[in-house]
Amino acid sequence: MRVDKMDNGKQCSDKNKSKALTKFLENQKLRNLTYLGKSEQKRLIGKDNTITPTPTAQRIGFTAVTTDHQMHLMIDSTVHFLKVITNAGNGFDPNTGIFRAPVSGLYLFSASILSLAGHEVRCEIAKNGDVVAYIFSGDNATYSTGTQSVLLDLVQHDEIWIKITNNNDVHVLGGGWSSFIGVLISQ
């Protein structure tokens, strides 16, 4: 019979190791790990029989859409997305239209802007006030949608928003037709 030492210094057999592992995980409030198979459990147990829990990533992401039409916007105006569908991590502020990174990491952002028929909308995805990428929406005859996506490496408290860049009485359609999303990909 094989006998090993757990991290508390007590000796236990292979049979008792599984029981000790389960009890340890329950005591550490890591119950979700007790559902792992033997091979997954072995990956969590180091050569010295210490248990190394897998770190859990923070859930950060938002989806917000426009509600009312935003009419007569001028250069440097922020597009507001007042209807928040998801705001995991509470990084998006619908009152300002600005996402503030709760943690540093790699984020994916995307925005779609619908313009009024016969009008242009030129805007940008801004990071701390600097342009990252442009969005153009416009057509002489019908409504038009412009979309842009960017992958950004942010530090905590960096700010991302959608900002108007043209100065000719811009109209952004509401009613959920324009949207802004962001999600933490990795830390």
164 domain-assigned: yes
| Exposure string over 34-53, b if 16+ CB within 10 A, otherwise e | eeeeeeebeebbeeeeebee
Is the domain of 9 the same as that of 76? Answer: no
pLDDT single digits (tens) 17-67 = 566 655 665 555 444 444 445 555 555 555 566 665 555 668 999 999 999
Most confident of 90-99, 112-121, 159-168: 90-99
Is pLDDT above 60 for 120?
yes
Is the domain of 75 the same as that of 26? Answer: no
Is the domain of 67 the same as that of 37? Answer: no
Average model confidence (pLDDT) across the chain: 83
Query: Do 98 and 91 contact (CB within 8 A), yes or no?
Result: no
* Percent of residues, the chain, with pLDDT higher than 90: 62
54 domain-assigned: no
- Non-local (6+) Cβ contacts of 161 within 8 A are 78, 79, 96, 97, 98, 99, 125, 126
Is the domain of 102 the same as that of 27? Answer: no
75 domain-assigned: yes
User: What are the backbone angles phi and psi of residue 31, rounded to the nearest 5°?
Assistant: -60, -30
Is pLDDT above 60 for 89?
yes
Is the domain of 77 the same as that of 148? Answer: yes
127 domain-assigned: yes
Is the domain of 138 the same as that of 165? Answer: yes
126 domain-assigned: yes
3 is written with which tokens? 């006998």
Of residues 168 and 154, more confidence is placed in: 154
Least-confidence region, from 32-46, 101-115, 116-130, 142-156: 32-46
Is the domain of 125 the same as that of 178? Answer: yes
What is the count of structural domains for the chain? 2
The domain that holds 100 is classified in CATH as: 2.60.120.40
User: What is the mean predicted confidence (pLDDT) over 70-75?
Assistant: 92
Q: How confident is the model at residue 73 (pLDDT cuts 50, 70, 90)?
A: very high
Neighbours of 131 (CB within 10 A): 12
121 domain-assigned: yes
49 domain-assigned: no
Distance CA 174, CA 12 (A): 65
Is the domain of 75 the same as that of 25? Answer: no
Any idea how long the chain is?
187
Is the domain of 99 the same as that of 172? Answer: yes
Is the domain of 35 the same as that of 66? Answer: no
Is the domain of 122 the same as that of 33? Answer: no
Give me the domain span that covers residue 73. 61-186
Distance CA 157, CA 91 (A): 9
The continuous run of DSSP H or E covering 19 comes out as helix 14-27
35 domain-assigned: yes
Place of tokens 């859409």: 65
Place of tokens 């991302």: 160
Q: How confident is the model at residue 133 (pLDDT cuts 50, 70, 90)?
A: very high
135 is written with which tokens? 């969005």
Is the domain of 27 the same as that of 100? Answer: no
Q: How confident is the model at residue 148 (pLDDT cuts 50, 70, 90)?
A: very high
Of residues 169 and 17, more confidence is placed in: 169
